[in-house]
Amino acid sequence: MVIGIVGASLLHTSGTIVDDISKKDPIYKDLLFFEKHFKGIMPLEISIDTRKKKGVLQLSVLKKIDRLQDTLAKYPELSKALSVVEVIKTAKQAFYGGDPQFYTLPNSNEIAFMADYIPDMKPKKRTILKNFIDSTYQITRVSVQMANVGTTKIDSIQKNLRPKIDSIFNPSKYTVNITGTSVVFLKGTNFLIRNLWESIALAIVIIAAILAFLFTSWRMIIISLIQNIIPQLMTAALMGFIGIPIKPSTILIFSIALGISVDNSIQFLSRYRLQLKHSNHNIPYSVISALKETGYSMIYSSTVLFFGFGVFVLSTFGGTQALGLLVSITLLVAGMLNMFVLPSMLLTLDRWSTTKAFEEPILDIYEDDEHENRDDGMAG
C-alpha cells in the first residue's frame, strides 16, 4: 500500500486530443507534418462581442484585434492568427497596387476610398468576411491553430492569455470568450476527472449498502472494501510509475474494475457465513471450507476476466489498449487479494470481524438450499 500511494502520487493529467492514435497511423504522421510546418491544426478561437451593431467596423476595435494578434504571435505553440484584420490589411495592400509595405490597417481617411476592395456581406453571397463576422457586424472571431500539446499546457496558455485579453478589451465594454476544440477538450477532460472521484465514491457507497444488506455487519463491510480498494490503488500506482496519464480513455477503468472485483468478495463471504452455521462458529474451519468451495470459481472467473480484458491490449487504439491492460491487472490483483488476504484477515481478526450481526443477516441467500437438503435427508 505504501508503494501504491507513492506511485499514485506520480499520476498526472496530460491527455491530448490525438493521444490514443497509434504513432504509426498516417493521421498521426500528418499531424506531425502540420505541427512542424504550420504549428499545429488544433483550433483555438477567440470570440469578441462588441455589444453593438457594426461595432467590429470601428477602427479602434480593429486596432485592438491587431494588438491581440501580436500578443498571440508571442506563443510558440500557436500559429499565425487569422481575423477580419487580415482581410482589411490585404484590401489596403491591394488598394496600393499590392505593395507589401502597405499591409497595415488603414486610417479613417483611407477606409472611405477602399470600399470597393473590401468584400461585402450580402446575404446570398459567400465571402471571406462571413468566416469572421456575423451578419450584424457585432461579433467577430480570431482564429489560430494550436500544436498537439497536453491539457496542462492548454490550461496554462488559457490562464496566461486571459489577463492580457482583458487589458486590451475592457470586460465592461466587450465580451471575449476563448473557445475552440482545444478548450472544449480541456474542459471535458477536467469535468471527467472531477467526476472520477465522485463516481468512485458513489460506487463505494452503493457497494457498501449492498454489503450491509447482505451481511448486516459494518466490520465485514470494511474488510470487504479494503480488498477491493487496494487493487484500485495498485492500478493508480502502475499508471504513475510507467507514465500513463489520467485521460478520458483511462478514467473509466477504476469504476469498472471496482464493480467487477467485489463479486468474488461477496461470493466468499456468503459461503463463509453459511459454513459458520454448519460448524457451530468454528472460524478457522469455516474460512478454510469456504475457500475450498469458492476458491476454484474465483480462480476461473479471475482468469476469464483477465484474458477477456487482456485481449484488448492487441488493439491499435491507445484508449482500448490502456483499458485492457489496466482492468485486467486490477482484476488479477483483486482476485489474489480475495483468495489470500481476505481469508487471512478473517483468521487474524476472527472475534472482531465475525459478530452476531454477520451471522444473522436480513436476507439468508442459502435458506432454500438448507431446506432442500433437510427434506432430502428426511426422505432418505
- Which DSSP category does 24 fall into? T
Residue in 375, 374, 367 with CA at minimum distance from that of residue 270: 367
Across the beta sheet with 175-179, the strand order is: 139-146, 42-49, 175-179
Whole-number Å distance between alpha carbons of 114 and 22: 50
3-state helix, strand, coil in the chain (%, to 5): 65, 5, 25
Instruction: Compute CA distances 94 → 36, 87, 102, 107, 181, whole Å.
Output: 31, 11, 9, 15, 34
Task: Output the CA torsion sign for 76, 21, 241, 246.
Answer: positive
Q: 3-class SS at 127? A: coil
- Which DSSP category does 177 fall into? E
Whole-number Å distance between alpha carbons of 300 and 314: 22
| pTM attached to this predicted model | 0.65
Quick: pLDDT tens for 309-366.
Answer: 889 888 888 778 888 888 888 888 888 888 888 888 888 876 665 555 455 555 554 4
- Count the neighbouring beta carbons within 10 Å of the beta carbon of residue 140: 23
Cell (9 digits) for 151: 491539457
Residue 215 pLDDT level (bands cut at 50, 70, 90): low
Cell (9 digits) for 56: 467590429
Q: Domains in the chain and their CATH numbers? A: 39-179 (3.30.70), 190-379 (1.20.1640.10)
Instruction: Compute CA distances 67 → 28, 49, 57, 234, whole Å.
Output: 34, 16, 16, 50
Quick: pLDDT tens for 55-92.
Answer: 888 888 889 999 999 998 888 888 888 888 888 888 88
Contact yes or no for 118/87 (Cβ under 8 A) = yes
